[in-house]
Structure 1
Amino acid sequence: MTGARQQPGKGRYDLTQGPIARTLLLFALPTLGSNVLQSLNGSVNAVWIGRLIGESALAASANANLIMFLMFSFGFGFGMAATILVGQSMGRGDITGARRAFGTGVGLFTVVSILIGAFGWITAPQLLHLLGTPPSATPYALAYLRVIFLAMPPMFLGVLISTALRGIGNSMTPFFFMILNVVLDAGLNPFFIRGFGPVPAMGIAGSAFTTLIANYVVLIGVTIYIYVRKLPIALHGAELRFVIPDLRLLKVIAAKGFPMGLQMLVMTFSGIFMMGLVNRQGVNVTAAYGVAQQLWTYLQMPAMAVGTAVSAMVAQNIGASRWDRVSQITRSGLAANFLLTGAVVILLMLFDVPAFSLFLGSHSPAIPIARHIHLIATWSFILFGITLVLFATIRANGVVVAPLLILTFGVLIARIGFAWSLLSTFGPDILWWSFPAGSMFTALLAGLYYRFGNWRRATMITEVVAEEARESTLADSEPGGRINPAG
């Protein structure tokens, strides 16, 4: 091997060799475990809030979490673009290129997360007002949201590190640290909500404070682990300068990341519009919608895990010019999504009432409403998974505008337009039927573009970076770091 390159097939994290279905499954399962644990963490926190404080606090957390996701969306696309660079660099065997892309992502995310946290803290009351948060829930939501904004830096950087690790083919490390995150966050919730010994009673702000603690501990822990285990993205010596964003890399990350960030914003704004429509139906409907969303989070987990695996595998195989495997990876991803998501749909259909009771208590008036919402909308997440897998393949080659347009039409027209225009005629049920309508429309357009679009002929985004950065890469990196990706 030469310079910063590693021969394909020789690395511990290589995804360009071996049986596709088995490799996809083994990569996806730890990611699925991470996603389930993350959702479980949110659900347990919601249980503590609903049981210890009440429906108004639970509605407040649903509104506050939506705003937090909106803020997070600003940086999400840039992190995904950096991860694609990491994955394609690994596929080419360019370890230093992967480190350079990761370092630029770290520098960018550090600045962006601090700015977003400060902006959110200042504008939290106005954001809640724009969302139409019920008056009874507003004080709770404000107290919760402002503490959450303090946790933005470790949350941003933690997600970037997790996705970068998956980009190099390592899905186990994020899984282990997600376990630690859940143990800390969910385990500490009741102590900081009610108070215990020297721990003061903080109410709903205590739930947010445990999230802050957990994310800072995990960020420090995973950083230490990366260096102790000498994982490929660890920066050493002169490579530490990579955290100062490279303008050439930033140009590529911005060009590809901005449309992906807009996709997240489209989804978030659609959720805000939907929440606004739901809030007008009263606090019980808002609480019911909030707990239904908790179960929907679990429904999305298999598709998200499979999509992450597909994206990482496709990016590495494109980097290695293994186009013969790309279509096979996509087909395996679609089959895995159908089986896994379908199984979760059936499971939640059978046990939805006991699940809702965990959040609200068995006698809450919101439970029948939540079950009605769930029965109408649940099956549409199989279609959501189809779209996610197809988009994961397309984006792995740096094609991001077409998915943005498809998602915008599907969510804003087929879902929000459908719900808003027919609400006065058909009543609240049209809100829930808008989810299958939007998912069906989006999956159809995604399938047509995957089959007939020109995404396969797009220029790989790492080629530009590799050409521009070759001289400085060889000059800046440590000789030891160029020979072998340790770990």
Structure 2
Amino acid sequence: MANSQKGKIDMTTGHIMRNIILFAIPIIIGNVLQQLYTTVDALVIGKYCGDTSLAAVGTSSQPVEVLLCVFLGIGTGVSILISQYTGARESRKVVSVCGTSITFIYIIGIPIGILGWFAAPYILEFMKVPQDVWNAALIYTRVVFLGTLGNLGYNMNAGILRGLGDSKASLWFLVVSCVSNIVFDLLFVAGFGMDVAGAALSTSIAMFISWIVSIVYIRKKFPEIQFTFLPRRFSGTMMKDILAIGLPVGLNNSLYSLGHVALQTFNNSQGAIFMAGGAVAGRITGCSNIAITGLSSAATTFSGQNYGAKKYSRIKEGHWRIPLCSGLITLSCGLFFIMIHKPIIRFFSSDEMVLMYASRHVVVMLLSQWFFAIFNCIISIVNGTGKVRYTTIVNILMLWAVRIPSAYIINRYFDGTWVMLCFPISFSFGMFAMIGYYLFSPAWKEVMRMAEKNS
């Protein structure tokens, strides 16, 4: 039986897949809610503002991620350390990690929000955003950047809770965020006619609300970790440990998002209609991969807690089962959404060319996302042990050596409206590279050797 004290799941005991599923379910439901409120964004904007505004929102989400991802990756480092210290029952170190992370959020979040406001036009210029989309994209990007502190704070706290083994709380934070976002969307966009500025403002306010709620929850449910609203404690030694794991992950995430900005330039070169089609398709493809994040987060916590507890035999038992489960669920969801996607996309636009491009994008992505599910779960298991170097290299190669070059070749020498084929090409590369790590890496063979010794 999983340990359910205070809503926590102890990954070091009990049935592995039962624990994984119990941990993942709240995150999966949370992903559904996230898709719900991004879908509401698209529906409200599409209905009240039109396809140009829809294209602006679709292209503006990527540059925001570039600056945020490196710090969200550091949040992953916090989560991994907490899961390892929780597994090892080192409560003093858990307190130190949490205190250091609170200080880090403020040191980083406020400057990024300000920097993002001024950097936005240069980023959009680099992305070659079309003139008919430019003004709306600039407004959306700037307003979302203003919500950086709330975004970082919420994601950091959600990572802390996952490391502790509590995935249910993040679901309730997302419920609060979704309801807030939908209410403010209807108020600002439909009611006040604020167009994309209203949609961006709704998102930023919702993130701040979720961050505050998460702080209140942690203080009430886990008083032993001495969580505070404002910075009070900071450990330079602990920050070094956090950066040792989180910085490679964060830099990788940032390079990954920067690569997606580069990919967006290929989409932008096809015009606003193609961009709108991609934005619509993203609502469907996002729904189909809802299991990936949940199972990958569960895999990281599972691996981290058992590595900290030195229960290597449990890692061996789960290191194939968890990725294969994620791949099977993702493939099943993908096939289901392929069957029903055509009537769904008509809710977002009535333009036949937008719908044609959206449909093409949906089919290509959903037939290949199960590769990514397996790849991402293996990476999560390896990262949970703190061995992030190889996974960082594979992620960078998958994007910069495979996805972007293949997108360039498709765009330059073939039909650019099929540029999304670069995703299945890179997904398959990443999956086989991580399977190769399992089979041939000396570091992983050592973990398996210790597992044999454990059993």
Which amino acid is 2:59 matched to? N
Going from structure 1 to structure 2, the CA distance change for 1:9 and 1:358 (only over 3 Å counts) comes to: closer
1:17-53 Cα distance to aligned partner (Å, 9 max, x none): 1011111111111111112211221121111111110
Is residue 323 from structure 1 mapped to residue 315 from structure 2 by the alignment? no
Aligned to 1:229: 221
Which of 131, 137, 140 is the aligned partner of 1:135?
Answer: 131
Q: How does 1:197-208 map to 2 (within 5 A)?
A: 200-208=192-200
The structure with the larger Rg is 1
Q: How does 1:471-486 map to 2 (within 5 A)?
A: none
Aligned to 2:21: 25
Question: Larger deviation: 311-320 or 347-356?
Answer: 347-356
Query: Secondary structure of the residue that 2:368 maps to in structure 1?
Result: helix
Contact 2:68–2:152 (Cα < 8 Å) also in 1: yes
CA distance in 2, matches of 1:406, 1:228: 40
Going from structure 1 to structure 2, the CA distance change for 1:91 and 1:183 (only over 3 Å counts) comes to: same
Is residue 423 from structure 1 mapped to residue 423 from structure 2 by the alignment? no
Going from structure 1 to structure 2, the CA distance change for 1:205 and 1:414 (only over 3 Å counts) comes to: same
Aligned to 1:48: 44
Aligned to 1:282: 271
CA distance in 2, matches of 1:388, 1:243: 35
Contact 2:372–2:431 (Cα < 8 Å) also in 1: yes
CA distance in 1, matches of 2:223, 2:443: 32
Contact 1:83–1:102 (Cα < 8 Å) also in 2: no
Which amino acid is 2:207 matched to? N
Is residue 450 from structure 1 mapped to residue 450 from structure 2 by the alignment? no
Query: Secondary structure of the residue that 2:385 maps to in structure 1?
Result: coil
Is residue 314 from structure 1 mapped to residue 303 from structure 2 by the alignment? yes
Going from structure 1 to structure 2, the CA distance change for 1:454 and 1:301 (only over 3 Å counts) comes to: farther
Which amino acid is 1:435 matched to? F
Contact 1:398–1:458 (Cα < 8 Å) also in 2: no
Which amino acid is 1:291 matched to? V
Which amino acid is 2:428 matched to? M
Q: How does 1:19-98 map to 2 (within 5 A)?
A: 19-98=15-94
Shift of 1:243: 4.5
Query: Secondary structure of the residue that 2:131 maps to in structure 1?
Result: coil
Aligned to 2:428: 440
Contact 2:181–2:202 (Cα < 8 Å) also in 1: yes
Contact 1:397–1:455 (Cα < 8 Å) also in 2: no
Which amino acid is 2:306 matched to? N
Contact 1:9–1:16 (Cα < 8 Å) also in 2: no
Which amino acid is 2:433 matched to? L
CA distance in 2, matches of 1:72, 1:444: 29
CA distance in 2, matches of 1:139, 1:179: 31
Question: Larger deviation: 290-299 or 395-404?
Answer: 290-299
Is residue 345 from structure 1 mapped to residue 334 from structure 2 by the alignment? yes
Shift of 1:117: 0.7
Shift of 1:298: 2.2
Runs of 5+ consecutive residues of structure 2 not aligned to the other structure = 448-455
1:206-263 Cα distance to aligned partner (Å, 9 max, x none): 1111122212222222212222333554438xxx998533111111222222210122
Runs of 5+ consecutive residues of structure 1 not aligned to the other structure = 1-7, 460-487
Shift of 1:371: 0.6
Identity of aligned residues (%): 24
CA distance in 1, matches of 2:138, 2:231: 37
CA distance in 1, matches of 2:439, 2:32: 31
Shift of 1:266: 2.6
Aligned to 1:214: 206
Contact 1:394–1:455 (Cα < 8 Å) also in 2: no
Aligned to 2:379: 391
Which amino acid is 2:292 matched to? A
Contact 1:307–1:392 (Cα < 8 Å) also in 2: yes
Q: How does 1:124-163 map to 2 (within 5 A)?
A: 124-163=120-159
Query: Secondary structure of the residue that 1:132 maps to in structure 2?
Result: coil
Q: How does 1:358-377 map to 2 (within 5 A)?
A: 358-361=347-350, 363-377=351-365
Which amino acid is 1:205 matched to? A
Contact 1:86–1:99 (Cα < 8 Å) also in 2: no
Which amino acid is 1:91 matched to? G
Query: Secondary structure of the residue that 1:47 maps to in structure 2?
Result: helix
Is residue 111 from structure 1 mapped to residue 100 from structure 2 by the alignment? no
Aligned to 2:452: none
CA distance in 1, matches of 2:224, 2:294: 22
CA distance in 1, matches of 2:72, 2:219: 25
Shift of 1:9: 6.8
CA distance in 2, matches of 1:11, 1:175: 17
Shift of 1:457: 7.4
CA distance in 1, matches of 2:446, 2:97: 20
Aligned to 1:478: none
Aligned to 1:188: 184
Aligned to 1:269: 258
Shift of 1:124: 1.1
CA distance in 2, matches of 1:390, 1:225: 31
Query: Secondary structure of the residue that 1:204 maps to in structure 2?
Result: helix
Contact 1:341–1:382 (Cα < 8 Å) also in 2: yes
Shift of 1:418: 1.2
Q: How does 1:157-172 map to 2 (within 5 A)?
A: 157-172=153-168
Structure 1 residue runs of 4 or more that deviate by more than 4 Å after TM superposition:
8-12, 240-243
Contact 2:372–2:427 (Cα < 8 Å) also in 1: yes
CA distance in 2, matches of 1:179, 1:371: 30
Query: Secondary structure of the residue that 1:377 maps to in structure 2?
Result: helix
